[in-house]
Amino acid sequence: MDATALLLLVDIVDSGGLSQAARKRRMSRANVSYHLSQLEKAVGLQLVRRTTRRIEATEAGRKLCQHGRAIRDELLAAQESVASLAEGLHGHVRLAVPTGFGQLVMSGWLIAFKRLHPSITLELVFDNRVDDLLRDEVDVAVRVMSEPPPGLVARELAPMRHIACASAGFAARHPLPQRLEDLQHLPIVTSTVVGRELRLAAYRGEERRELALQPTLASENFQFLHEAILADLGVGLVPDYLVRADVAAGRVVTALDDWRLSLFGTRLFLLRMPDRYQTLAVRTLIDFVLDKARDWAAPHA
């Protein structure tokens, strides 16, 4: 059996198609298809089948992929072991982080990480999509959600809490919401995710409420939302970390404090694929982020 074809089978199955595997390997699709057909002839079994959305492994294909991943991981570990003797800790990590938390909190963490490990190439993706990690070939993703997606390895980093708030100037001229329903009659400044209806979940003891909202100012740029709230443009529905210093200084006041509010989830998770090999660089970054998140969450628990 051709070990190269076996490793290519892993790429085909993990990426979900011949074209995706071809791009990853920088090969032609026809070449990938040829090696796959040769491997299927060698074992005498069909190894993949095409569904309406992607290619999936047959039972024989899944068994071969298990062995292929083990071989791939051992090869990568051997390469890392030898390279680290000459070059020290190095490698490439592609990390996806939420726009708000990533920019306002994690940026400082990741700059500190790069100072500690200058030979690790760190590629950052700032977005709020909750997709599988295969499509963008992301090694690690940090996401705000209530429950992690099935099939991924998840580590909880911290609780996430949204608050209703407004500038002191806005509050001096307008009544702040006393009930959840009041939010439907006030100018709302908040974040959005493209293609998703904005629904506010609110928790108080055992009670759970849900409210559809039509914000008058919405953006995925959290720095802009922060400035808009301070500019008296409405009631903000934002993560508490965004205005924590402003609340302490009296520039921003909060409302509906007896409710725990959530727009996109109540917890922050670190996610990774279960079958993707974790290089030493990836493991080092994960440990670093876990430590930083633990320190950040402790004073606000």
- Domain locations in the chain as residue ranges: 3-85, 89-159+266-300, 162-262
- For the segment 116-133, what is each residue's pLDDT rounded down to a tens digit? 999 899 999 888 776 655
Confidence (pLDDT) at 253? 97
- pLDDT category, 45, cuts 50, 70, 90? confident
Which residue's structure tokens are 């279960």?
Answer: 274
CATH architecture of residue range(s) 162-262: 3-Layer(aba) Sandwich (3.40)
- Asked if 230 contacts 252 with a C-beta cutoff of 8 angstroms, the reply is yes
Within 8 A by CB and 6+ apart from 215, the residues are 188, 189, 190, 192, 198, 237
The dihedrals phi and psi of 62, each to the nearest 5 degrees, come to -65, -40
Question: How does strand 267-272 pair with strand 140-145?
Answer: antiparallel
Q: Which of 225, 213, 209, 210 is nearest to 185 (CA)?
A: 213
pLDDT of residue 193 exceeding 60: no
Burial (Cβ within 10 Å: 0-12, 13-18, ≥19) of residue 240? middle
The tokens for 240 are 């508490």
Same fold, 3-85 and 162-262: no
pTM of the model: 0.70
**What CATH class is the domain 3-85?**
mainly alpha
pLDDT of residue 35 exceeding 60: yes
- Share the mean pLDDT of the chain: 87
> What CATH homologous superfamily does 89-159+266-300 map to?
Periplasmic binding protein-like II (3.40.190.10)
- Asked if 270 contacts 142 with a C-beta cutoff of 8 angstroms, the reply is yes
Residue 41: CB atoms within 10 A of its CB come to 9
